[in-house]
Structure 1
Amino acid sequence: MSNATARRHELNLYRRYFDLVAAGCKTIEVRVRYPRLAGMTAGDTIRFRIKGTNETCDVRVLRVTEYADFEALLDGEGPANVNPTASREEQLTNIRGIYPPEKEALGALAIEVELLRASE
């Protein structure tokens, strides 16, 4: 994909997930398949921000995969890639605590990312 077509997205993250992304430990970001994310594709960049702060980290999108729900996403991607510090069951509980059933019904996105260093 050429840089001319790559897009930049800005998304908020909770501190616990931000720290994992910023450390390069979390390689799969989980989102609901909202219409505004429908065009996200490999080569795009995401600036993650801790809501209410100036703390950010930038990542490159390597792949976006759609799943019917969060269980299928965790099974397909592997829980350790989503959150290496929590079990599959803990992750499912945490994700569903963020997104209620009506949001999960929209479908789930697994966004594979790689951390961009300051020089990139």
Structure 2
Amino acid sequence: EHILNKMDRKYGVQAKLVTPYIPYRETIKGSAETESKYKKQSGGHGQYGHVKIQVDPLYDGSEFAFVDKIFGGAVPKQYIPAVEKGAKETLDKGLIAGYPMIGVQVTLLDGSY
């Protein structure tokens, strides 16, 4: 505050102090593969989904990329956008410190339903 008063008196500059905002981000350094299953039974037929994905770092400055390598209908085309959305939502929450992740490519390798 003393410096602000001095700047105003001496140079006629009126400044405001604000706390800087630092947009923290997370990323990955290496590749990894994982599988995940979703099962929900609620009286009827229930819901089931299984995906196998690979995550890789992106070095081109992109924030996120999704690659579909499914063939033969292991996962129907209408479910692939939901897998991409789930991956994006997970990366937006962060994995370690809760900050959004950038520079990640998610590749859908296999699955079942």
**What TM-score do you get using the length of structure 1 for normalisation?**
0.29
**What TM-score do you get using the length of structure 2 for normalisation?**
0.30
The structure with more radius of gyration: 2
